[in-house]
Amino acid sequence: MNLLLLSALLASTVMVVHGHDDHDHDMQMPLDYVKYPYQAAYYPGDNDVTANAIFSGITTFAKLPWVQCLGKDKTDLFDIAFIGAPFDTGTSYRPGARFGPAGIRAGSRRLTLYGGYNVPLAVNPFLSGLKVVDCGDIPVTPYDNKFAIKQIEDGHKELLHRSTFSPLGNDSLTGKPLVPISADGKNHPRVITLGGDHTVVLPLLRSIYSAYGQISVIHFDSHLDTWKPQVFGGAPSEQAAINHGTYFYWASQEGLIRNGSSIASIVFLAFLTPRRFFTSPAGENW
């Protein structure tokens, strides 16, 4: 009897499984259910979010399209660009941040898995309607700091002074046309720089000044980076005086930042401008 009962139970289970498979899954889903709500913005395929969307292909930031903005694609327009500044010969203790851009890009691959969707803000910045690209790296020499710093400034300035792909648009609250806040009255694209030891901040501030004039800076780091060259490094030469601990001193001397700037000693750095620029304690700029 036990054997017959077990057989009957197994048979009924099989019937239930087969009966379940006969139904259309889509017909049983809630009306507001979306199978893949946060699609990867730049991954072509069958609209399925799969693992190969992360590890396949070249490594750009968040799997964004690679545009050679400083090379053959120098006439291409964009709204937001990621650019690398692989420089670390201005540091006094721990070099290696020249590999920062590559490391940041590798770490950003998983942003594509759900398209970079921000749950608290309920927004996907990659699907904002703006053209976002990865411009690769600025060519930076590891042999000549003076020339390398000029390369970073020129490369950033080249991108910053390009026309935008999209018009500025209207204010989301008032509906009125937005007005550029730049000193030259133009709508500049946003440039996000991946570094690089902290010395790269000086050439970037010089570039930003060319479009916006003086800007306010909030700086969070494990040290102030406002050393006078005579104290930090001893300044044996004009070029040695510019390093990862003195760049804010020079930015102040050159009039690049406002007096209202705030220097704190915590974790990272952010400019209060349309660009977002972050610095980690490890010397990698985001």
Residue 144 has pLDDT above 90, yes or no: yes
The parent domain of residue 109 ranges over 38-215
Asked, for residue 152, whether it belongs to a domain, the answer is: yes
Please give the Cα distance from 153 to 211 (Å, whole number). 13
Asked, for residue 221, whether it belongs to a domain, the answer is: no
Asked, for residue 12, whether it belongs to a domain, the answer is: no
Buried/exposed code over 10-46 (b: 16+ C-beta within 10 A; e: otherwise)? eeeeeeeeeeeeeeeeeeeeeeeeeeeebbbbbbeee
Q: How many CB atoms are located within 10 Å of the residue 64 CB?
A: 24
pLDDT number for residue 15: 42
Predicted confidence band at 154 (pLDDT cuts at 50, 70, 90)? very high
Which residue would you say has higher pLDDT here, 275 or 24? 24
Asked, for residue 239, whether it belongs to a domain, the answer is: no
Q: What is the CATH number of the domain that holds 80?
A: 3.40.800.10
Predicted confidence band at 119 (pLDDT cuts at 50, 70, 90)? confident
Predicted confidence band at 256 (pLDDT cuts at 50, 70, 90)? very high
Asked, for residue 262, whether it belongs to a domain, the answer is: no
Q: With pLDDT > 70 as the criterion, what percentage of the chain qualifies? A: 71
* Residue 92 vs residues 8, 121, 172, 229, 254: alpha-carbon distances, Å: 78, 40, 46, 13, 23
Asked, for residue 153, whether it belongs to a domain, the answer is: yes
> How do residues 55-90 score in pLDDT, each as one tens digit?
777 889 988 899 999 999 999 999 999 999 999 999
Q: Among candidates 121, 133, 136, 23, which has minimal Cα distance to 79? A: 133
> How do residues 25-62 score in pLDDT, each as one tens digit?
555 555 554 454 445 444 444 455 555 667 777 889 98
> How do residues 182-201 score in pLDDT, each as one tens digit?
999 999 999 999 999 999 99
**Which two three-digit tokens encode residue 159?**
């991108």
Please give the Cα distance from 182 to 162 (Å, whole number). 13
> How do residues 223-235 score in pLDDT, each as one tens digit?
888 899 988 887 7
Write the DSSP string, 67-87: --TTTTTTT--BSEEEEEE--
Asked, for residue 259, whether it belongs to a domain, the answer is: no
The total domain count for the chain is 1
Asked, for residue 261, whether it belongs to a domain, the answer is: no
Burial class, 238, CB count within 10 angstroms (exposed 0-12 / middle 13-18 / buried 19+): exposed
pLDDT number for residue 48: 55
